[in-house]
Amino acid sequence: MLPFSMPTPLLPSKSSFYHRLIKLRRPLLLIAILIGFACTSSDESYFKSFFQPEAATIKPDDRAYLFTPLLYNSDYAGFDDGQLDDSLSTMANAASWATYLGATYTNSQITKALTDSLAGQQLLERLANSNPSAANYLRFAFDVQAAEPAGDPWNRTPGDTVQLAKLAKQARDLATATADPFLAERYAFQAVKLADEAGDYSNSRHYYAQLIQPLKNKTFISGWARCRQAGALLSLGEKDRALFEFAQVFANCPSRRHAAERSLRIHGLRFTEKALDLAKTDAERLAVYAVCAIQPKQDALPLLEKMVALDPKNTLNELVFAREINRNEYYFDQKTYPGYVDDQTRPDSVAFENRRRSLPDYTQKLLAFAQDAAKNTTLGNPAFYLTAAAYLHYLAGDYTNAKTTLDEAAKQPNGNKSLAQQIALQQMLLLSAQPGAPDATSETQFVSYLTQFKEAVAPKKGEDYNPFEVNFRFTNALTAASQQMANRYLGVAETGKSSGGWLSGCSSKKAETAVSGPNLAKAFVLRVLSAGGVDGFFYGYGGEVTALEDTTNAQAAQALTEYVASPAGEFDERLVKLAGVDADYAFQLLGRRHMAEGNYEAAAVAFANVKPASWQNEAFSQFMTVNPFTVKMPDEGKPKTPYSPLQFVRRMADLQTKAKQARAANKTGDDVAQLHYELGCGAYNLSYWGNAWLLNHRRWSAGEAMFYGASPADMARALADPYYTNSIAQTHFEQAAKEAKTPELAAKATYMAARCLDDALRVRREAEREKTGTYVADDDVAFTEKMNRIAQSDYSGQATAFRQQYLNTRFARDMETHCALYRDIIK
């Protein structure tokens, strides 16, 4: 067992609310799941990826086509509402009108007139004398707007189809009758569009062929018409022709580029040879390949190979390759189909499993492409393709070739900042993946990389952390590299000849080596960094710092205090600073870990080194307000604590010292029993169920002991942890009962020992419930019978002893009258 670990987070019960919470378990879990989906703490397009698509040469408008699990990089919520198309269209249209009308009309005036009815009317009045034909067209366009569908996708008002059909024919007639080419093209577009909106798809296609195709000087307006015609073709069932037409719009009409691509995505159009056969030129063929290569749920490498052959300089070549690498990464880490499987989604889940099985083969194909591309001088940018090849070697666990290739990439000319960052990121990952404990040179290099990437993701001074603005691939790399380097210090290595990289999955066995001193401390600090540091400068998959602290042991905490107090060099100083670790933090951790292990004397020594101001923090003033020696007996209430945190620890240390001295002197009796009883009360309150838990753990949540989604290892760890089972308190209460000469004191101690066992049973019950892998109702007969057997065999000893020996005590009579919890435990 490692000295510290990062457990799977347990679902966020407290003893007094336990029975009510159990009744609410199912709705609470459902709410937790919904909150998990709605309130994620990072970019919703997040997945475990280390390869920046920005390392490729990408046009800003094409960033929407980067791979994410949400299909496209449209916005952080994954909702593509077409606003980019609207803005591009408005700008292009306004600019063309301003040019057409002359210098006295500006783009801003035209834009306002096209979007504001009052400004539009003013423009009409101005044009009535200077350009009546233009005024007539604008009146017609405003009439069209009144008849068209309105509203957003969620609140759509349907259009007047009868009026739309009438306007379509009117536009056709005006297009043929108008001599002005600027206005004629716009009337023609209106005819195609209006027929499509009226549901007259055949005429929409016909109007395009009749009015648009013959035009000698086509502008972007003809591209708009072509996009409308493609939609009509799709409605007519001519999918191959529609795909071809959308592809040409995508390639040639910037103001309808995203709309054309979105049409393929929404309607599930994919590459077909029939669509390609409609192309007459290489440019048309390239357009088909390109728009199809950025569609989801497919392997696009074969299409990319065709694109490169047709046009090595195409601006989408590198983007498509980056998409394929990122998509492959997703399948590396996503072990199961991410959606709910039913009859409708089963084909998708089968396709998902098939794609995962093809990972090694497809990775090799991507690698071969990258290697060839790096040598292809017509493609250019060998730095990108060499970096990609090195990354694919890294994924496969071939670190030797990964380093050689990456070194070559670093030598190539490069003007892309993101590519330079990607090279550094991969160098950091490769350095952390090397075998054996790091030497001084490796440490110096590694801490420089850590500094570089922390500066890239940490919020600037005075700013709040915004997970939606952070490059999650940087945080992924910081997490992975820090964890790998920590493992090197711990002597944890993959068994066998090679780690196998991601291709080997997570099934490899680990070889552990006993480690102590500075290496143990360095490993802990690196694990803190992997979880975002003490200051929480990023969120990632590395767990939480508080969870790490709460699962480490006193040995590691002791090593940390010594390491922080006596750094051996610059690396040590920089590392602890990056992690936000200082002496105060280290002594608080050491004190907590000694408290968790029941070593109160050592805890008092550690806590004595904590700055007095630390005990004034809000956490202590908020969560340590009740006397930590009260245990909710009927006559106790919730008395305000007379102890500061440090005073309580010193009191526990004093009790422990006196108990040890009494044992050494073979003393017995009520005085010794009282020592152990008070130690038991203090230890009880240091547990999950008590009021002084903050001196044991850094975090507490109301559903921790429900284990929703916990791994078997995490459940086993919790079942062995005195924090949840109260085994330390139980031992003291049992000793108090054994030493006591007064039946009342013995009864009280035995009851508290039974109460500790009842707490342990609650944890066991939730673990057994989670092991079923399904929802278990509280009135499930089979499960209840099973838990009754477990309770009787493993957790009933002290309750049985109480019933046999102490039912006639005054304590028992008072508790029977005033304490419902007592009646539940001493049944």
pLDDT at 610: 96
Location of structure tokens 């997570």: 506
Return all residues near 419 (Cβ < 8 A) that are at least 6 apart: 54, 55, 56, 383, 384, 387
- Read off the amino acid at residue 71: L
Q: What is the mean pLDDT of residues 454-481?
A: 79
* Residue 510 backbone dihedrals phi, psi, to 5 degrees: -110, 140
Burial code (b: 16+ CB inside 10 Å, e: under 16) for 66-76 equals bbbbbebbbbb
Per-residue pLDDT tens digits for 326-379: 999 998 888 887 776 777 778 888 888 888 888 899 999 999 999 999 999 999
pTM: 0.84
Return all residues near 540 (Cβ < 8 A) that are at least 6 apart: 42, 472, 475, 476, 478, 479, 530, 531, 532
Whether the Cβ atoms of residue 205 and residue 245 lie closer than 8 Å to each other: no
Per-residue pLDDT tens digits for 236-259: 999 999 999 999 999 999 999 999
Of the candidates 86, 111, 85, 88, which has an alpha carbon nearest to the alpha carbon of residue 98?
Answer: 111
The full DSSP string for 570-599 is: HHHHHHHHHHT--HHHHHHHHHHHHHHTT-
Location of structure tokens 């000087």: 217
pLDDT at 825: 95
pLDDT for residue 153 is more than 70: no
Q: How confident is the model at residue 634 (pLDDT cuts 50, 70, 90)?
A: confident
Lowest mean pLDDT among 20-34, 54-68, 643-657: 20-34
Burial code (b: 16+ CB inside 10 Å, e: under 16) for 781-816 equals eebeeebeeebeeebbebbebbeeebeebebbeebe
Calculated CA dihedral for residues 438, 444, 447, 451, nearest 10 degrees = -160
- Read off the amino acid at residue 590: L
pLDDT at 6: 40
User: What contacts 24+ positions apart, CB below 8 Å, involve 350-355?
Assistant: 351/297, 355/299, 355/331
Pairing state of beta strands 493-494 and 510-511? antiparallel
Of the candidates 65, 51, 45, which has an alpha carbon nearest to the alpha carbon of residue 315?
Answer: 65
pLDDT greater at residue 451 or residue 20: 451
Lowest mean pLDDT among 250-264, 456-470, 763-777: 456-470
pLDDT at 44: 57
Mean pLDDT, rounded, of the chain? 88
Return all residues near 642 (Cβ < 8 A) that are at least 6 apart: 627
Return all residues near 527 (Cβ < 8 A) that are at least 6 apart: 4, 6, 482, 483, 486, 542, 548
pLDDT for residue 508 is more than 50: no
Determine what percent of the chain falls in helix, strand and coil, rounding each to the nearest 5. 65, 0, 35
Per-residue pLDDT tens digits for 14-29: 333 334 334 444 443 3
- Read off the amino acid at residue 451: T
Token output for 665: 């002197």
Token output for 232: 């009509």
Per-residue pLDDT tens digits for 810-826: 999 999 999 999 999 99
pLDDT for residue 653 is more than 90: yes
pLDDT at 513: 53
The full DSSP string for 129-155 is: HH-HHHHHHHHHHHHHHHHS-BS-TTS
Percentage of residues of the chain with pLDDT beyond 70 = 87
pLDDT greater at residue 536 or residue 306: 306
What is the CA 10 to chain-centroid distance, rounded? 16
Q: What is the mean pLDDT of residues 198-209?
A: 98
- Read off the amino acid at residue 123: L
Per-residue pLDDT tens digits for 468-507: 567 889 999 999 999 999 999 999 754 333 344 444 433 3
Q: What is the mean pLDDT of residues 182-188?
A: 98
Q: How confident is the model at residue 3 (pLDDT cuts 50, 70, 90)?
A: low
pLDDT at 467: 55
pLDDT at 305: 98
Per-residue pLDDT tens digits for 590-622: 999 999 999 999 999 999 999 999 999 989 999
Residue 103's CB is within 10 A of a number of other CB atoms, namely 7
pLDDT for residue 127 is more than 60: yes
Residue 497 burial (C-beta neighbours within 10 Å; 0-12, 13-18, 19+): exposed
Per-residue pLDDT tens digits for 541-588: 667 899 899 999 999 999 999 999 999 999 999 999 999 999 999 999
Token output for 75: 């916005």
Q: What is the mean pLDDT of residues 263-273?
A: 95
Residue ranges of the alpha helices (H) in 158-219?
161-177, 181-197, 201-207
Token output for 525: 């600090």
Q: What is the mean pLDDT of residues 174-178?
A: 97
Lowest mean pLDDT among 213-222, 278-287, 455-464, 471-480: 455-464
pLDDT at 507: 36
536: left (phi over 0), alpha (psi -120 to 50) or beta: left
Per-residue pLDDT tens digits for 410-419: 999 999 999 9
- Read off the amino acid at residue 691: N
Q: How confident is the model at residue 68 (pLDDT cuts 50, 70, 90)?
A: confident
Lowest mean pLDDT among 635-639, 650-654, 790-794: 635-639
